[in-house]
């Protein structure tokens, strides 16, 4: 009787231990919950330092996957929307998206890049930034929304 009781207790504790190990394995397969977007992603923008008035130039932006695994995100088209403001800080133009709900796979340590042509007509100093809004698929049909803005970059427009 005593042996059966001991065997029963070992079995119960063994099952609980197995379930704890499985829970830990499931958690390690999931993306970690980050305390900040910067632990999973980064965004960058590159614009020329100077252009002539009414000259076309390219805004280059990227959304970087900093994780060690491929991830699935839902974005718009384009992934970024762009903000342009003049030297007084007044927002002159917001370049928006044409489409939403596009699912994309972002490989580990890879980046989504975009090149957006733009033209500033009047001389002056301007600042340009880009914002990526997307949802990260975290499993079980759930997702987490992210909104990340690049640094503001100055561009001088000369005659």
Residues 91-117 have a mean pLDDT of: 87
Between strands 153-158 and 124-139, the pairing is antiparallel
Q: How far apart are CA 64 and CA 79, in angstroms?
A: 12
Task: Indicate if the pLDDT at residue 36 is higher than 90.
Answer: no
Using a CB cutoff of 8 Å and minimum separation of 24, what contacts does 139-143 make?
139/30, 143/74
Residues 26-31 have a mean pLDDT of: 39
Q: How far apart are CA 53 and CA 55, in angstroms?
A: 5
Q: How far apart are CA 77 and CA 55, in angstroms?
A: 25
Confidence at 56, pLDDT banded by 50, 70, 90:
very high
Q: Do 138 and 29 contact (CB within 8 A), yes or no?
A: no
Residues 6+ apart with CB under 8 A from 65: 40, 41, 71, 106, 107, 108, 109, 110, 111
Residue 6 parent element (H or E): helix 2-29
> Among 8-17, 40-49, 74-83, 122-131, whose mean pLDDT is lowest?
8-17
Mapped onto helix, strand or coil, the DSSP state of residue 4 is helix
Residues 116-122 have a mean pLDDT of: 94
CATH class of 35-158: mainly beta
| Token couple for 46 | 């590159």
Q: Which residue has the higher pLDDT, 23 or 123?
A: 123
Domain ranges of the chain: 1-30, 35-158
Q: Is the pTM of this model over 0.75?
A: no
Q: Which residue has the higher pLDDT, 43 or 21?
A: 43
């Amino acid at each position: 009787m005593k042996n059966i009781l001991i065997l029963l207790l070992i079995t119960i504790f063994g099952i609980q231990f197995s379930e704890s190990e499985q829970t830990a394995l499931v958690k390690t397969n999931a993306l970690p919950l980050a305390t900040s977007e910067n632990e999973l992603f980064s965004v960058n923008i590159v614009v020329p330092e100077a252009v002539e008035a009414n000259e076309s130039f390219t805004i280059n932006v990227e959304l970087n996957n900093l994780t060690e695994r491929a991830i699935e995100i839902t974005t718009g088209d384009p992934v970024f929307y762009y903000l342009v403001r003049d030297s007084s800080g007044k927002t002159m133009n917001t370049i928006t998206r044409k489409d939403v709900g596009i699912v994309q796979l972002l490989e580990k340590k890879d980046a989504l890049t975009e090149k957006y042509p733009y033209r500033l007509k009047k001389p002056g100093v301007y600042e340009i930034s880009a914002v990526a809004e997307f949802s990260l698929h975290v499993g079980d049909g759930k997702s987490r929304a992210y909104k990340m803005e690049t640094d503001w970059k100055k561009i001088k427009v000369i005659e």
